Amino acid sequence: MRWMALDHGTKKIGIAFSDELEILSSPFEVWPQQEELTLQKLARLAKSEGVQALLVGLPKHKDGNESETAPLARAFGEAIRDLTGLPLVFWDERLTSVEAERLLAQRGVKAKDRKAKLDAAAAAVMLHDLIETRRSRRVPADRLE
């Protein structure tokens, strides 16, 4: 199944994709958050990339409770789901930016370039987590979250 993962933010959206075999998760781009315009562009991108399911990061506190921005992420996810008609999974995004930062540094991305790539890398980290969960538990997409 080809997934599109979205790291929702109030200023930027990080985008990542999986391959159809769910082996790899790859950062794609970081787009400015422009509300309806961004949703329309993401819907077109999903269609052109043959996306079959959506993953949207859900901000949570360290204790597991949803953060103050979680309702915004939920509304965003539901809006992109409604536009595309694709299945949607919300995914815990705790510490994905920390892991993405570590991976970018490990790969030799210069500190000044990491900030521009961080949100897409965080989306790829979330997507990797989902793929590993599906693989280890043999869980269908509609049973995640």
42: CB partners within 8 A, 6+ apart: 4, 6, 13, 15, 31, 80, 83
What residue ranges define each of the domains in the chain, with the CATH number in brackets?
3-143 (3.30.420.140)
Tens of pLDDT, residue by residue over 89-126, are 999 887 777 676 677 667 776 777 777 676 888 899 89
What's the rounded Cα separation, in Å, for the pair 57 and 73?
7
* Rg over CA atoms, the chain: 14
| Tokens linked to 89 | 């999974």
Tens of pLDDT, residue by residue over 32-60, are 999 999 999 999 999 999 999 999 999 99
